[in-house]
Amino acid sequence: MNSISITPSEFSEMEKNDAETIEKPKLSTVDSAVHSSESLKTVKTTDTQTVDKSRKNPYETMGEIWSMSFIRSLIIPIVGVFMFLGVWHIGASQVQTSLGTLPGPVQVWTQFNGLIQEHQQERAKETAFYERQDARNAKKLANNPDAVVKIRPYTGSPTFFDQIITSLITVMTGFILASLIAIPLGIICGMSAGLYAAINPLIQIFKPVSPLAWLPLVTIVVSAVVVTSDPYFPKAFIISAITVTLCCLWPTVINTTIGVSQIDNDLINVSKVLRLNWFTKVRKIVLPSAVPMIFGGLRLSLGIGWMVLIAAEMLAQNPGLGKFVWDEFQNGSSNSLGRIMVAVIVIGLIGYLLDKVMLILQKKVSWDKNAALR
């Protein structure tokens, strides 16, 4: 096949029978073309296809262009995923571990459904618990209107989905905290070369520090400083969030600094001619012009924060996804490997979704609509 561009029917031909030449029976070509056009929603004459391929412009119709992008954006990725699942399926069955064979996609899917069921059961138990409690209290009050009614919270163990929520809350807390520090710091660094020179070495030194190195420090400091036992802010949560903050500060600081220092000199001159005061200048000129760069930094930061969170939760025992993985690892049942794999995939998917959300936000606030954001 020496054609440079591949039309859908050619593509399907290639897939089906690469070795066969053009002289193959017309009927089978029609057949394969019909198959492909079924899935790609393109209707075309199959005769010209077989007779002479080189003469035909591959982008003859809008439908073809559309179907090309359709192939590229959907079909090929799906093929890639299925190939991966296949390799995983075959490869996993070859690996024997102390907990049995490494689970393949099917077992992981079963585990995922198991986790959903557990979650539903736990919710049902919780509802039942509260119903019982309400009934008991109602009865008590009916007998004696002055009775002191106790309402106890349900204390069942958190399910996988509760842990996802905990992780999301923790990472967002750490990330927002980091942004609140990093953006102002970056703006100041970007506007003052002297301050940047002073802070830059610190950024460079702290940036590569692993969350695992921060964690013991943070744990000891938080344990010493936080003395309340407020149930809404458990220590494990604070430790995890602060570790996330420490690790995801840097990309935003660096990007904001670069964004601010790269402002068009003409715009700075405009602010000088208008005699804008410092605050107005930052608000009206510096910040908007650095917004695309700041958001680039925020996206990097959130990505790092999510990665760091899992490690932090493992060691700080914050009841999130990290703790889930750790507990399953310690548990070592026949289900554990499958459940950890579920967690790995869910962690990946959530990380991807977080990035997508940031991308949507970035597109919303960015004035440079021509910039290619991906």
State yes or no: residue 369 binds another protein (CB under 8 A).
Answer: yes
Q: Which residues pair with 97 in a beta bridge?
A: 100
State yes or no: residue 270 binds another protein (CB under 8 A).
Answer: yes
Minimum gap (Å) between residue 266 Cβ and another protein: 4
Minimum gap (Å) between residue 263 Cβ and another protein: 11
Q: In whole angstroms, how far apart are CA 123 and each of 112, 168, 323?
A: 17, 20, 20
Nearer to another protein, 168 or 276 (CB): 276
Identified binder of another protein from the candidate list 6, 226, 276, 359, rule CB under 8 A: 276
State yes or no: residue 40 binds another protein (CB under 8 A).
Answer: no
Nearer to another protein, 29 or 289 (CB): 289
State yes or no: residue 262 binds another protein (CB under 8 A).
Answer: no
State yes or no: residue 55 binds another protein (CB under 8 A).
Answer: no
Contact 273, 329 (CB under 8 A): no
Residue 48's identity, in one-letter code, is: T
State yes or no: residue 368 binds another protein (CB under 8 A).
Answer: yes
State yes or no: residue 361 binds another protein (CB under 8 A).
Answer: no
For residue 96, the surrounding DSSP H or E stretch is strand 96-97
State yes or no: residue 273 binds another protein (CB under 8 A).
Answer: yes
Please count the residues of this chain forming the interface with another protein, following the rule CB under 8 A: 20
State yes or no: residue 344 binds another protein (CB under 8 A).
Answer: no
The region of 102-110, 123-131, 208-216, 288-296 touching another protein under the rule CB under 8 A is 288-296
Identified binder of another protein from the candidate list 288, 303, 317, 327, rule CB under 8 A: 288
Minimum gap (Å) between residue 283 Cβ and another protein: 11
For residue 52, the SS3 value is: coil
Q: How far is CA 29 from the centre of its chain?
A: 43
Q: In whole angstroms, how far apart are CA 278 and each of 186, 187, 272, 284?
A: 15, 12, 10, 10
Minimum gap (Å) between residue 138 Cβ and another protein: 60
Identified binder of another protein from the candidate list 275, 279, 330, 372, rule CB under 8 A: 275
For residue 118, the surrounding DSSP H or E stretch is helix 105-143
Identified binder of another protein from the candidate list 72, 125, 132, 272, rule CB under 8 A: 272
Contact 292, 371 (CB under 8 A): yes
Nearer to another protein, 41 or 272 (CB): 272
Nearer to another protein, 194 or 201 (CB): 194
For residue 97, the SS3 value is: strand
Nearest to 51 by CA among 29, 72, 32: 29
Residue 219 neighbours by CB under 8 Å, 6+ apart: 239, 316
Determine the straight-line distance between the first and last CA of the chain, rounded to whole angstroms.
33
The C-alpha atoms of residue 200 and residue 327 are separated, in whole angstroms, by 40
- What is the binding site for another protein (CB under 8 A)? 264, 266-267, 269-270, 272-276, 280, 284-285, 288-289, 291, 367-370
